[in-house]
Amino acid sequence: MNIGYNRPSVIIIPVLLAVTLFVVACTSSEIANSTINTSTPVNTSTSVTIVNTTITANPSSTGIAAHSIEMGPDNNMWFVSTGNKIGKISPSTGEITKYIVPGYGGNTLPKLLDVIHSITVGPNGNLWFTEFNGNKIGKISPVTGNINEYGLSSGRSMPNVIVAGPDGNMWFTAYYGNAISNISPTGVITDYHIPTSDILGTLPVSICVGPDGYLWFTEYEGNKIGKISPITGSISQYNVPSSQAGISDVTSCSDGNLWFTENKGNKIGKISPTTGDITEYEIPTVGSGVLGITTGPDGNLWFTELQGDKIGKISPMTGDITEYPIEN
């Protein structure tokens, strides 16, 4: 989700870090489990080392990998990248401005994983982002470039995907924290822990707002689709029929269902928000490594194949899948 997806191409993290999957018993549970932590900004800074340039050289020569991208309220495209940077690019001129995140602490993981992970538009026109390795939530003003960061209570939460909730808060998945969390516009953080018997946790990856007003999320290790009420914090979980599916991205579709990718199961799935019924569709390419998914302007669901080197689409009406090879 972006893996806008409602979010963002974020999901490369669980693909690289996920451990051996555990077959989880089929359950559907309702809980209300929350720990409220008040967080103040750990670092506030105006943008520094601003670089304005128009890209003309081979991007690979810079050693910087762009990650998630989202259209901002200023009509620029905002993105995150390795090297602890937030960037924006003007669609009309191609001019790029980069902002260094001052308090980012990501120096312990390989370059590919040392990223500001997901970015999206939130309340008051700010853009909010997750610092996966830095273990913080950040926001940046598109007007001034000022950055605020909010440290998470757990030292290994590793926030992944972030979206704007219907309640005015920002909601995000805590990949190693085994929680769905939210942060208010003033920086108050609330954690809702996902019920699991697995010592490794569920590894929640992606999150989006469903047509029912709930926040729907994926459990890469837990092998479930979950939803959380933004009002009560109660969590419901729905077991996916295929075991060890590696559920990655999730998005809402105009047909009223939630659609998701099964990275290890090699399938596209959909779940009804009213009944919880799940339908799965096999991807023709074996071992495609399906990852991100989003709704296209044609009404189809479009998805990426990390190992298959293809872009695919699936009709929400018929379930028919079409794949398009990506040429070198």
pLDDT tens-digit profile of 89-137? 999 999 999 998 876 544 444 444 446 789 999 988 999 999 888 889 9
- Residue 237: pLDDT above 50? yes
**In total, how many domains does the chain have?**
1
| Residue type (1 letter), 131 | E
Range of the domain at 312: 1-30+203-328
- Domain at 19, CATH number: 2.130.10.10
Residue with tokens 């960061």: 149
pTM score, two decimals?
Answer: 0.80
pLDDT: which is higher, 327 or 317: 317
Domain presence at residue 116? no
CA 130 to chain CA centroid, nearest Å: 9
User: Could you count the other beta carbons within 10 Å of the beta carbon of residue 302?
Assistant: 18
Distance CA 191, CA 132 (A): 16
Domain presence at residue 129? no
Kindly report, residue by residue over 56-81, the tens digit of the pLDDT: 333 333 455 677 889 999 999 999 87
Q: What share of the chain has pLDDT > 70, as a percent?
A: 75
Domain presence at residue 96? no
* Cβ atoms of residues 149 and 43 within 8 Å: yes
Sheet holding 41-45, edge to edge: 41-45, 147-151, 136-140, 127-131, 116-121
Burial class (CB in 10 A: 0-12, 13-18, 19+), 105: middle
What are the structure tokens assigned to 139, written together?
A: 């926001």
Q: How many CA atoms lie within 13 A of 66 on its CB side?
A: 17
* Phi, psi torsion values for 281, nearest 5 degrees: -130, 125
* Cβ atoms of residues 149 and 103 within 8 Å: yes
Q: What pLDDT score does 65 carry?
A: 65
| Residue type (1 letter), 319 | G
Confidence of residue 284 (pLDDT cuts 50, 70, 90): very high
Confidence of residue 39 (pLDDT cuts 50, 70, 90): very low
- With vertex at residue 216, the alpha carbon angle to CA 232 and CA 271, rounded to the nearest 5 degrees, is 125
| Residue type (1 letter), 135 | N
Domain presence at residue 98? no
Confidence of residue 273 (pLDDT cuts 50, 70, 90): very high
Domain presence at residue 105? no
Domain presence at residue 213? yes
Domain presence at residue 219? yes
pLDDT (mean) for 281-296:
95
- Residue 34: pLDDT above 50? no
Domain presence at residue 127? no
